[in-house]
Structure 1
Amino acid sequence: MEMFGEDGRDGVWTVMANVTDPESLHRAFDGCAGVFHTSAFVDPGGMSGYTKHMASLEAKAAEQVIEACVRTGSVRKCVFTSSLLACVWRQNYPPDRRFPTIIDENCWSDESFCRDNKLWFALGKTAAEKAAWRAARGRDLKLVTVCPALVTGPGFRRRNSPASIAYLKGARAMLADGLLATANVETVAEAHVRVYEAMGNNTAGGRYICYDHVVQRPEEFVELERQLGLPRRAAAVEDSGDRPARFELCMQKLARLMSTRRRCTYDDYYSVAFD
């Protein structure tokens, strides 16, 4: 936003809003045609980057955002940023099988499992996304959610370490099961734009998993930690060798959307509130 300044140059304004204050959100959204809800609660002063209390706050904030969208009368579309972690954590997966279990946008993380294993970031993302869907049900608002993997990329890495630390809670299990994936920030941004555009002609709906790369080896995880500027923890991660992963991530739904020719208009980009 620093590129545009505070005077609305090129049709972009910076507006402050509190995601826990409905009136604040209403003032920020009023007059906009769409909202990208990309906020994430992190604890910069905490070692874990995310707490159990923050999970409940994020769920409440998601509900408030949807309610504010509906109240404006002008907002017709909302793209909600969730997380791949809202899809991957469950206890009752099938036992060993000949083929890996597919994890796609139809899968939801088990909140009880996340709570029992203190996976607070996953719990918060799951609860927040579900709260958004509940709040939007039966309302005059189009809602789509994007579920990115761990976001990486130049200029994004080190200054987002609290969120990265929170995301990587349980990384050993994710790595062993084939569920530890990353998504470049540019890919995530492109996915949001493409989904928003496709909502205009009703060719986008529901949830979309987004990732670029699945981390498969401990040495890859070591390099990921180095890039993110995180304390090294990969020594405790065992190499699974040639043992196939229990799960396989699938983002065919988003891939199909991203492969279609873009049909952009000027107005698409100048009537959106970034939350």
Structure 2
Amino acid sequence: MGIARAQDEESERREFEDFRKTLVALAATERSKENDDFKGLTSSHIADLDLQLDKLVCVTSGVSFLGLALVNRLLLRGYSVRILVDNQEDVEKLREMQVSGEMMMACNNKISVVIAKQTEIQGLMEAFDGCRGVFHTSAFVDPSGISGYSKSMAEIEVKASENVMKACARTSSVRNCVLTSSLLACIWRDSSQHDLPLLVNHDSWSNEALCMEKKLWFALGKLKAEKVAWKIAEEMSLKLTTICPGLITGPQFSHRNPTATIAYLKGAQEMYAKGLLATVDVIRLAEAHVAVFEAMNKTAFGRYICFDRIIARDEEAEKLASEIGIPPNRICGNSLEFIPTHFELSNKKLINLMSRTIRNWHGQS
């Protein structure tokens, strides 16, 4: 039985590797024929072809809580989605999601899967080939399932961000990239500074040394991953935007996204005391990703803070703790220990963009 199963697994692995290579080969063939295909076409035909090409995008970690919501949102907007996964197990997860109805069955012909390691730039380039946009959702989990999010995982996330950005910049078809960062990359600032602004918005950056001192590895990973992404984007002329969401919530979020949920809440008491503990529903976050991406050739630029609720009262904190399955004092206990400086979170930049984009969406329907 063990031998037979191993042979089956090896057969499936070869099958999906062949599938991946076929996708890459087809994309290369199409590009090589591009000039011949365009001969004799009218401007309207070329515009239609460009529109079809513009609708192919890639989502990294497409089996994650956010990744799945983003894939579904993109499908609803008419995109074809190439889902990048790390291994065969993720492919099986996708199959289960399709069967369970978590992924839109009606759009199966617009979904493709590519297996590629985020540690290998060449493999990422092959996965992105033919895509006009890439959404790097930066969804990582603890392989051992016990530490939440370790210091070593932060370094892995930073390296993955570096590789994805370099692969995007080196892939000629990729025009735009959207990186999922975190609100934690904005809020952990040195409160001992007398001139520290009370407003926390898209221009705010967390302090790397403070994150190290407090051992806020999730915040550190998101902060450094975003910084390296911006560095490479500037050096390699990659068009990039980043979205910095609060704690991602939604149906069964603590069960479906446990690593990021627990890791995000390290330091929750201090965040709550300072008015900086915010959440965002995963569907709204997915919509924000698509809205920002679609506005990148017009008005979208830089960073966007994304949240739809600030946890400001004890009953709200207790409800959140109950949803996660942790004691309330993990969030709202001992809040008087912290300096009573209350900050103001602002997502005005994203709200303004979303209001314009949603009006356009309704106008198209």
TM bin (shorter chain): 0.7 to 0.9
**2:300 equivalent among 188, 193, 204:** 204
- AA aligned to 1:39 is S
**1:189 equivalent among 259, 272, 286:** 286
Match of 2:113 in 1: 14
Match of 1:106 in 2: 203
1:225 aligns with 2:324: no
Partners of 1:165 and 1:230 within 8 A in 2: no
Match of 1:68 in 2: 167
In the alignment, the residues of structure 2 paired with residue 160 and residue 4 of structure 1 have an alpha-carbon distance, to the nearest angstrom, of 20
In the alignment, the residues of structure 2 paired with residue 181 and residue 31 of structure 1 have an alpha-carbon distance, to the nearest angstrom, of 37
How far 1:44 sits from its partner (Å)? Answer: 5.2
The aligned runs of 1:23-34 (5 Å cut-off) are 23-34=122-133
1:153 aligns with 2:250: yes
Partners of 1:218 and 1:238 within 8 A in 2: no
The aligned runs of 1:1-275 (5 Å cut-off) are 2=98, 3=103, 9-43=108-142, 45-92=144-191, 94-95=193-194, 101-201=198-298, 203-230=299-326, 232-234=328-330, 237-238=333-334, 246-262=342-358, 263=360
SS of 2:112's equivalent?
coil
Q: How many residues align?
A: 259
In the alignment, the residues of structure 2 paired with residue 127 and residue 145 of structure 1 have an alpha-carbon distance, to the nearest angstrom, of 13
How far 1:94 sits from its partner (Å)? Answer: 4.5
- AA aligned to 1:178 is G
Map Cα deviations across residues 61-97 of structure 1 (whole Å, 9 max, x no partner). Answer: 1010000001111101000000000000011455599
In the alignment, the residues of structure 1 paired with residue 259 and residue 327 of structure 2 have an alpha-carbon distance, to the nearest angstrom, of 12
RMSD between superposed Cα atoms in Å = 2.5
SS of 1:200's equivalent?
coil
Higher relative contact order, chain-length normalized (CA < 8 Å, sep 6+): 1
Q: Which has the higher helix share?
A: 2
How far 1:24 sits from its partner (Å)? Answer: 1.8
In the alignment, the residues of structure 2 paired with residue 10 and residue 170 of structure 1 have an alpha-carbon distance, to the nearest angstrom, of 44
- More off after superposition, 87-96 vs 186-195: 87-96
SS of 2:114's equivalent?
coil
In the alignment, the residues of structure 2 paired with residue 180 and residue 217 of structure 1 have an alpha-carbon distance, to the nearest angstrom, of 11
Structure exhibiting the larger radius of gyration computed from Cα positions: 2
In the alignment, the residues of structure 2 paired with residue 106 and residue 145 of structure 1 have an alpha-carbon distance, to the nearest angstrom, of 12
Map Cα deviations across residues 105-149 of structure 1 (whole Å, 9 max, x no partner). Answer: 100001110001100000000000001000111424210000000
- AA aligned to 1:156 is F
How far 1:233 sits from its partner (Å)? Answer: 4.0
1:212–1:126 distance in 2 versus 1, CA, 3 Å: same
Give the unaligned 5+ runs of structure 2. Answer: 1-93
How far 1:12 sits from its partner (Å)? Answer: 1.6
Partners of 1:36 and 1:80 within 8 A in 2: yes
How far 1:236 sits from its partner (Å)? Answer: 6.4
- AA aligned to 1:11 is K
- AA aligned to 1:105 is H
Report the TM-score when normalising by structure 2: 0.66
How far 1:43 sits from its partner (Å)? Answer: 1.0
